[in-house]
Structure 1
């Protein structure tokens, strides 16, 4: 059972609002924010913190989850583990928590993840020389994957720019109408002048974005004829997200009302050169396990690694005709940014709150991870 789901604001990496924090402090703030919203939780009864992070180097190295726990309100007696499935790390953490409850290993877990890219050194060289010798070069670059999928799925530059514009407009609408307010927890950050402020504002959304402005960006990979740009792909960001997961018995004993239950989870893999398509097989496996079809799902949150990747996934699933009423209705990572170790939990959080607002019965969250893996989660709303 998912009792609650929260996230921090998504901020610019490097010089954004969380530049005063490291990944551990950001994680602890979000964990504490989750606990503050749910005062009925017995802190000594939390069985484990399961926390995702992609780039576990520099200040994010070691067991980041344990460091975050020690900085939070959770008792030191609660164990913690860090999970790394690259961009799907935090959704994998959610799966591990749900599976632990199902197996009877425990009854109360906090699962989620973080990425604080501003605290990690950029790579000096390719970290995958062996991979480069056995697969297409697209496997080593998100932008190259986007170009390849744009070519194979007939997705032109304008289609990608239009999708990126949609993401920003829907995210901005969610800001204006207060939709995002319900899922955000306040984290102490810095304003542009360096003053400490309670931060609860997503920084990467561009309210006045236009197609003309998007058309002005140069292609990222293929300077001549390329269609993938920095504006129609998700930018790196800093952020964290957390879910409170319990058994039905523990929730009932504490008087907590679950938002949803995790009905099924799925993981698949494919050739890294077309890694985004693992989202397709992950969702298909999820539905097969649940004896459902796409038409049974009310809402989808498909991680927006880039417009080309997202549109290719939608084409493969034949979901383009449901785009306006079922898919990423609060925008996605193209607008919010992609703190990779947090993104899987973030899309689960956004989806769960949207399901409540739209009174949707079933929702599916899908994300891909580098090197060709797809991870999917099916939620059934209970707060009805």
Structure 2
């Protein structure tokens, strides 16, 4: 039976809203990481059987199957197809799952997976501007209000009894860990610098140094009067893209390339549409059960920091050394370019595994509509 192995993983630096990457069309940002990921292994793009690309706001510059547009923008042969996936924030993590499944099934010998979101150019929620995406039967079941993730984050804080101070402390830790990773040069191996308007952009734009509980405490609650969720303890609105090259061991040997990791386990779950963001908890349990591994077997966890309450609630359910959770910071510090975030997290986790010789890593993230993916990688 085929396996699915990752032979390269790269990402663009993550730009903050209206920052260094805001002038880059999302198809061109995607093309940049496509070029970079095949350059890492020296493979001819004609060998790529498909590109599976996550993107959430598929409207305007991000519509017309941006995966295919990115392939052509990268100068790849027109024989290389592309398809675009929407599983909300988990879109590019789901792209990894689809690509790995295709390789294992023998449908592909090699596939590039990843995603993009330019939230500066295509604002979050703009895809819903043309009409209400929720029909009458949904409303009859769940109520008339469109699900609000921020309100869901507040509900999670209430359910797990997480204080405003705990959320703010988590946010400070995210920034501190990301800054430490920058200072140690840990992101250099995963970031593919990009030239924008004649300047090289090679670092994430959202990391803040020197923050304090006092400064965060001054921020107003964003979703509920007297609430705990603020712009300071939630993920940043960002621009970014990431890509991984997935193949099988036989093809990697033919290319003369050493695989980095194996896609060991891949699962997806549904969870209540409100509070919407609890899915990583059952997804983690499902991944561990399917893999036959225990929490103690996992050397690093990436739990997406959509809001600080999400990984804190996850941590409350699992007895895990918090030094293993988002060790290089997360979306609160680095940013959350929706459709590209799953591949960004996986790229960061994989490079951390390589640097630390960590055998198993588990990634999970909450997703709009009440869903979550979980993936376990095994270092090779």
Q: Distance in 2 between matches of 1:52 and 1:230?
A: 25
Gaps of 5+ in 2: none
Pick aligned residue for 1:351 from 349, 353, 362:
349
Pick aligned residue for 1:66 from 68, 77, 81:
68
Are the aligned partners of 2:151 and 2:275 in contact in 1 as well (CA < 8 Å)? no
SS of the residue 1:78 aligns to: coil
Q: 1:91-130 residue pairs with structure 2 within 5 A?
A: 91-121=93-123, 123=126, 124=129, 127-128=133-134, 130=136
Partner in structure 1 of residue 13 of structure 2: 9
Quote how far apart the aligned CAs of 1:339 are. Answer: 0.3
Partner in structure 1 of residue 211 of structure 2: 209
Partner in structure 2 of residue 380 of structure 1: 378
Are the aligned partners of 2:363 and 2:376 in contact in 1 as well (CA < 8 Å)? yes
Partner in structure 2 of residue 193 of structure 1: none
Normalised to the residue count of structure 1, the TM-score between the two structures is 0.93
SS of the residue 1:277 aligns to: coil
Are the aligned partners of 1:83 and 1:93 in contact in 2 as well (CA < 8 Å)? yes
Q: Distance in 2 between matches of 1:83 and 1:208?
A: 38
Larger displacement relative to structure 2 (307-316 or 114-123): 114-123
Quote how far apart the aligned CAs of 1:30 are. Answer: 1.1
Quote how far apart the aligned CAs of 1:136 are. Answer: 6.6
Query: Do the aligned partners of residues 174 and 136 (structure 1) sit closer, same or farther apart at CA in structure 2, a change above 3 Å counting?
Result: farther
SS of the residue 1:310 aligns to: helix
Quote how far apart the aligned CAs of 1:129 are. Answer: 6.5
Number of residue pairs aligned between Structure 1 and Structure 2: 371
After superposition, the C-alpha distances for 1:87-106 in whole angstroms (9 at most, x for unaligned) are 11101111111001100011
Q: Does 1:337 align with 2:335?
A: yes
Q: Does 1:166 align with 2:167?
A: no
Q: Does 1:155 align with 2:158?
A: no
Query: Do the aligned partners of residues 276 and 138 (structure 1) sit closer, same or farther apart at CA in structure 2, a change above 3 Å counting?
Result: farther
Partner in structure 2 of residue 264 of structure 1: 265
Larger displacement relative to structure 2 (354-363 or 137-146): 137-146
Are the aligned partners of 1:6 and 1:242 in contact in 2 as well (CA < 8 Å)? yes
Are the aligned partners of 2:167 and 2:309 in contact in 1 as well (CA < 8 Å)? yes
Q: Distance in 2 between matches of 1:213 and 1:220?
A: 15
After superposition, the C-alpha distances for 1:109-161 in whole angstroms (9 at most, x for unaligned) are 11000001122155458644655553378972121011101001010000000
After superposition, the C-alpha distances for 1:178-234 in whole angstroms (9 at most, x for unaligned) are 0011100011224xxxxx21211101110122211111101112222x110011000
Q: 1:302-317 residue pairs with structure 2 within 5 A?
A: 302-317=303-318
Quote how far apart the aligned CAs of 1:43 are. Answer: 2.0
Partner in structure 2 of residue 296 of structure 1: 297
Gaps of 5+ in 1: 191-195
Q: Distance in 2 between matches of 1:378 and 1:61?
A: 31
Query: Do the aligned partners of residues 67 and 309 (structure 1) sit closer, same or farther apart at CA in structure 2, a change above 3 Å counting?
Result: same
Q: Does 1:361 align with 2:359?
A: yes
SS of the residue 1:86 aligns to: coil
Pick aligned residue for 1:28 from 28, 31, 38:
31
Quote how far apart the aligned CAs of 1:317 are. Answer: 2.5
Partner in structure 2 of residue 223 of structure 1: 225
Partner in structure 2 of residue 273 of structure 1: 274
Quote how far apart the aligned CAs of 1:292 are. Answer: 1.4
Quote how far apart the aligned CAs of 1:12 are. Answer: 1.6
Q: Distance in 1 between matches of 2:247 and 2:206?
A: 33
Query: Do the aligned partners of residues 381 and 138 (structure 1) sit closer, same or farther apart at CA in structure 2, a change above 3 Å counting?
Result: farther
Query: Do the aligned partners of residues 133 and 336 (structure 1) sit closer, same or farther apart at CA in structure 2, a change above 3 Å counting?
Result: farther
Are the aligned partners of 1:137 and 1:144 in contact in 2 as well (CA < 8 Å)? no
Are the aligned partners of 2:175 and 2:332 in contact in 1 as well (CA < 8 Å)? yes
Q: Distance in 1 between matches of 2:335 and 2:145?
A: 22
Q: Does 1:187 align with 2:194?
A: yes
Query: Do the aligned partners of residues 247 and 330 (structure 1) sit closer, same or farther apart at CA in structure 2, a change above 3 Å counting?
Result: same
Q: Distance in 1 between matches of 2:160 and 2:376?
A: 27
SS of the residue 1:27 aligns to: helix
Q: Distance in 2 between matches of 1:341 and 1:374?
A: 14
